[in-house]
Chain A
């Protein structure tokens, strides 16, 4: 339980609050204020993971977002989550962490055999083998070796929510630059959001060591934070990573601050301006075995020492190529990590640096580079090549390396910003961007005062290139890039994809720059000419549940209930989904029995159907008739007020998109019915035609579908049933014949609309009443109608009834290719005066062909043999089969006591009576082409 590598004092941890956690089954202790990574290091944990390809041991490399080794499976109380960055998660009591790799154990992995034979597995090896007999044979084994964790088990205890925000300025990063800017903006009255991914604001200010520097930094930090808190126009988000930068200055933020309460938030921020103060990421150096546990970024080692009071090792050798790293090394030394030597590849160092090293008794080797780290499981020494060409070794327990800084420009690049290579800084810096974004501080390349940052060119050690790691996670070596270049994968994208450098989960935060520097050297170009690959969202991976938000389960899509839903429930309705609607499919328990009973009731007595989702659009104005004439295939002008007509709508390509009746309420006032499924779509479509194509037509459209509930009463007794409603008026067929309309008020004062139309083939009325009164109206109708044998019927029975009549179901009997000729409406098209939507397309050769599929009735020769919707009519024999069409509707008809259906069949109209074969999933039945209508073909019933 002792934290052997924890200093006795110092750091921003709360030593009063020790926390117990476990790692790979071992119980360990850390402090409040630790990250998981700092707590592991405090306990001397070195190997935390295995590499992807060669299964090499890997220790913690970094202290921030760039960490690519310590990707652990962590349970902080809300279930196991794979691939958690140990450097980014705050330690909490009871946390349990495990290495995702290593068989049998992360410290001893049999997969190391791939390391021993790694010459056989260079970049792209899989492209060169596994072709015989085929890749699929090998794939399973390869797949099982990949992956960095398992899919979580059990129900996700997290709750995910979305937050939307607007601000004048979004400052990304609460380090010195970000906070300073936030304060300035706040003082000038701007609405400011500051997003910081750490759980503590301050950035590098948190890394000032225990002396006057810390006091000054803390003082400034507290003062700024205190002042920011006084502004109501400032919001500071912590543990909130800006993950994506999209068009028009909309940014996404993954806010993990409430994770301990089981909540993750995905914020979408619309910012007037964006200020990126995202800092910079220290880069590794390329030398032999630079992937060994114990080789760490110098800045990260300082981070652990100063912020957490953790020594990453007892001693270290600093290997650097720039000035900034010196600060890290000196701080490290002063924090109790014995820096046994500093190796600087630059020929000269400043007097100040020389004096500082001298004062601390640290030997300095200038003009020298690291050749390779020694050790097998962890660092035991470092081999150095000095300026005179002498090679020598130093014993050490760790290596603190620094290859200089690289600005964190990911978000800038996502915003569409272009980068430019800065020779002096040896990295890419922001150049220009069309969005309102500004980059400040280290993210803009201002790592230090201009004279205080000198860096030697990026290079690799004069040592075997197949021992120098460029990408630690994907095991990409310098030799892999050499191979890529040799094989002509020389564009940066090819190199990246061929070697997979930078394609791991860290997306190259510590590997991209080195990789393209090596590529530039090998191809004899400037890094600026090689260019860099484009950064994509997310900057840091974001929990998928958080992006989905609460749109899950019942909230995935809204459910629409009928106005009389509860009444249907009380009638024992079995509901089915139709788009967003839940509608009664049938009433009762046994589906087939119910359908049969409902169909029989409608045919012999009366049935009650809820047609409320039917689309209803009122069109009024002097040009309403002209507009509808352009929209419907059918003639509109001749329709008299109070009369109803059936209409088909086409798209401009001549395909049927909707049908339904329309009513002329008055000369300049129409009511349109559309199919339930297309109610919104057709309303929007009509608006588009009016607003965009024919704005000169004077009319207004009002969708009224939600205002009116519709009760359909159908059957020979329908008139008797409906007559029980006082005030509905005389229903005599001479007063209110088929296809006519009436509106008024019932005796109860309730307004109503009544249209006598039929989709069942029976005498039928569609009664519209205000949606709020639907339930009581249905109840009343049923109570009164019981006497006449009235019973409710659902969609399934309706489908049987209309199929018996051969009535068209748009979307079922038609698809996006069916035109009015195909369904027997050719005469109506030919008789129509003037243009309408889709007419010109119908005049094309292809729409007039006799070989088109036409809608006909069909019945199996054996009345017992069922037809399946979706079965095909075929010709030809095995091997040479061809589809001539397909069954679009099929059901058992209780009325004619056999299976019936409709089908779209090539040249079907001319093939009446022909025998055809029907194919369904390998089975073939014989059937005959018939007229679609098998019940009351003369329509006497519905005119009764």
Chain B
């Protein structure tokens, strides 16, 4: 069972989280062609190895964040960030 570190709540069991898939390229505008749109919408890198991905602490704070996980070993790369610094709680 994965033990996932939510940047806001700390380490929790995987069943509190929802997986959001690999982090993708930005959503294209309406002007892109069908092929490029299909590539964005459906194609995936589906990396075997270290993958940057999204998780949501669904049964917790409800926040989405990104982290790096090895899809073969399920090890997390401790460096993760979604651009939001980890909040500091003062005692």
Contact = CB atoms under 8 A, between A and B. Distances in A.
Direct contact of A and B (CB under 8 A): yes
Interface of A: 246-250, 268, 270, 416, 434, 652-653, 684, 687-688, 691-693, 695, 835, 839-841, 843-845
A686 to B, nearest CB: 11
Interface residues of B, number: 24
Given A248-B3, A691-B63, A692-B54, A684 B30 contact: no
Given A247-B1, A687-B62, A835-B29, A841 B20 contact: no
A592 B57 CA distance: 46
Given A416-B73, A835-B29, A840-B30, A248 B41 contact: no
A896 to B, nearest CB: 43
Contacts of A691: 56, 63-64
Contacts of A250: 1, 3, 13
Contact of A268 (B1, B58, B64): B1
Contacts of A416: 73
A840 B64 contact: no
Nearest to B3: A248
6 contacts: A247-B1, A248-B74, A684-B56, A691-B63, A695-B83, A835-B30
Contacts of A841: 37, 41
Contacts of A652: 41
A270 B3 contact: yes
Contacts of A695: 83
A691 B18 CA distance: 14
B37 A840 contact: yes
A617 to B, nearest CB: 13
B9 interface: no
Given A434-B73, A687-B62, A246 B41 contact: no
Nearest to B4: A248
Contacts of A684: 18, 56, 58
Contacts of A270: 3, 13
Nearest to A251: B1
Nearest to A434: B73
Interface in B28-81: 28-30, 32, 34, 37, 41, 54, 56, 58, 62-64, 73-75
B37 A248 contact: no
Nearest to B84: A695
Contacts of B34: 844-845
Nearest to B70: A434
B27 interface: yes
A4 to B, nearest CB: 50
B44 to A, nearest CB: 14
Contacts of A692: 20, 54, 64
Contacts of A840: 28, 30, 32, 37
A204 to B, nearest CB: 32
Nearest to B63: A691
B30 to A, nearest CB: 5
A248 B64 contact: no
B6 to A, nearest CB: 13
A653 B27 CA distance: 13
A691 B3 CA distance: 22
Contacts of A248: 1-3, 74
A7 B4 CA distance: 56
Q: Which 7 A-B pairs have the closest CB atoms?
A: A248-B3, A250-B1, A691-B64, A247-B74, A246-B1, A692-B64, A840-B37
A843 B30 CA distance: 9
B41 A688 contact: no
Nearest to A701: B62
A693 B2 CA distance: 26
Given A684-B58, A835-B30, A247 B2 contact: yes
Given A247-B74, A250-B1, A688 B20 contact: yes
Contacts of A835: 29-30
Contacts of B58: 684
Contacts of A653: 41
A692 B83 CA distance: 11
B66 to A, nearest CB: 9
A576 to B, nearest CB: 28
A270 B30 CA distance: 48
A688 B58 CA distance: 10
Contacts of B30: 835, 839-840, 843
B50 to A, nearest CB: 14
Contacts of B29: 835
Contacts of B73: 416, 434
Nearest to A687: B62
A652 B29 CA distance: 12
A772 B56 CA distance: 31
A250 B14 CA distance: 11
Contacts of B32: 840
A246 B15 CA distance: 14
Nearest to B23: A692
Nearest to A252: B1
Contact of B27 (A268, A693, A844): A693
A900 B59 CA distance: 43
Contacts of B62: 687
Contact of A688 (B64, B74, B75, B83): B64
Contacts of B3: 247-250, 270
